[in-house]
Amino acid sequence: MRTRSLTALAALTLGVAGALLPASASQARPMSADTAATAQCGTHSDAVGGRHASGPNRLDPHEMSAAEAATLNARFEKDMAAKGVSAANRSAAKKPASAAFASTVIPVHWHVITDGSAGNLTASELAGQISVLNSAYAGTGFSFQTVSTDYTNNASWYNGITDGTTAERNMKNALHVGGKGDLNLYTASLGGGLLGWATFPKSTVDPMDGVVMLDESLPGGSAAPYNQGDTATHEIGHWLGLYHTFQGGCSGQGDYVDDTPAEASPAYGCPTGRDTCTAAGTDPIKNFMDYTDDSCMNTFSAGQVARAQSLWTTYRA
């Protein structure tokens, strides 16, 4: 049973730090305020900054500059070309992304970190998260199946762990299993106001690869309005190679997906009709790669699916 309260969550504050690490890029999803900046993806962590009246909000402590995003995307483009992904499919605007892509079941390895009784997620809670993922990714060619679960009682890994720390490295080096196509999911009581963080694809097996999530963000947890399981949906989007919808603001290459309208800044809550880039159409507030409430998120675009499929073929297949 999980024991963390909303009072404890409300005490979390925003941490903004980090830089692009092209060799092992990662992204994160935060609980944050409307004053948040644009997206960053070195290690991608999403953090808690400002708060809803009912609890924490989303914000990313690793906001990625346009130059950093371009550097990472150039690596993606080069590697996709080397794997034979066509230029049209590399544009992430066409479907299917690659003739080589085949629908795949992603094996999930759960690493549940606890501090005695705190953090002991049940099998039914983990199954509920898998159900949310399979619903969110329906029609993308990706589905998820738990293949292993382990529990580790370690207070230093559970209480206040953040990305890029010795604690994270020690935890992942001890627990990571499988190859590039295996999804390692870690749950703990995160520090720095983080909802979670995720690594981007790379060409080698890396024990740091995977997704770390606030335990109370799973369905039924206390991290409202981020307690319906879509922190995992969002972070796995990064794990598959997707940027935030608001990456790059109203100009430039943005999220490198042609069919997600440009967005000047992250959206919070569920601001229907929000339009921050007048020439691009209304903001994609219901997209899983924005920062809106879990109850507001419900879609990936065709271009995002194409990009994820191409990057899967290139890196994780």
Cα–Cα distance for residue pair 184/175, rounded to 1 Å: 9
Pair type for strands 26-30 and 183-190: unpaired
| Structure confidence at residue 171 (pLDDT) | 98
**Which of these, 191, 106, 204, lies nearest to 155 by C-alpha position?**
191
Examine the residue annotation and report whether 235 is marked as an active-site residue of this protein. Answer: yes
Tens digit of each residue's pLDDT (9 = 90 or more) over 149-192: 999 999 999 999 999 999 999 999 999 999 999 999 999 999 98
Domains and CATH numbers, the chain: 6-316 (3.40.390.10)
One-letter amino acid of 149: T
Lowest pLDDT segment from 34-43, 106-115, 124-133, 260-269: 34-43
Task: Taking residues 181-206, report their average pLDDT.
Answer: 94
Enter the pTM of the model: 0.83
CB 108 within 8 A of CB 144: yes
Task: Taking residues 118-134, report their average pLDDT.
Answer: 97
Residue 121 has pLDDT above 80, yes or no: yes
Q: Which position among 168, 216, 235, 263 bears the catalytic label?
A: 235
Residue 40 has pLDDT above 50, yes or no: no
